[in-house]
Amino acid sequence: MELSVSQCGDVCVVGVRGSVDGSTAAQLQDTVAGQLTGSAARMVVDCTGLEYTSSAGLRALLAGVKECRRHGGDLRLAAVSGGVRRVLDLSGFTGILRIYPDVDSAVSSYAG
């Protein structure tokens, strides 16, 4: 798994490439937690390059959204592929996380 972090205005974008599983989920969770600063934590996870997530990856995302919301923000997903989307649907995570077709729409969803 490869992670990248960038800023788009006041929104942090974490890009994920490859697979999130038991051996990499902690790295994702630590990266998200490490970006939480200030009173608001607005974050987008760019899933453009995410090929697979296991239940460990789902737990990392859940921990991330809880931390962001605890800090007055939110965590949103962008560009989720078919296979990963099915895992999110089957696990009920689509009722917890907001999912957008691309990074721009996820970032702009924070306006207003």
Q: How many CB atoms lie within 10 A of CB 18?
A: 13
pLDDT digits (tens, 9 = 90+) for 51-62: 999 999 999 999
2-30+41-108 fold: Transcription Regulator spoIIAA (3.30.750)
Output the pLDDT for position 39: 58
What mean pLDDT is predicted for residues 74-100?
95
| Per-residue pLDDT at 37 | 74
Structure pTM?
A: 0.95
Decide if 71 contacts 57 (C-beta within 8 A). Answer: no
The 10 Å CB-count burial string (b at 16+, else e) for 20-49 is: beeebbeebbebbeebbeeeebbbbbbbee
pLDDT at 112: 62
- Which pLDDT score, from 0 to 100, does residue 111 have? 87
Render pLDDT for 24-45 as a digit per residue (tens, 0 to 9).
999 999 999 999 876 568 999 9
Within a 10 A sphere around the Cβ of 53, how many other Cβ atoms?
27
Contact 65, 28 (CB under 8 A): no
**pLDDT band at residue 81 under the 50/70/90 scheme:** very high
Please report, for residues 19, 53, 75, the alpha-carbon distance to residue 69 in angstroms, rounded to integers and kept in the order given: 25, 22, 8
Distance CA 64, CA 43 (A): 9
Compute CA distances 60 → 63, 73, 108, whole Å: 5, 17, 24
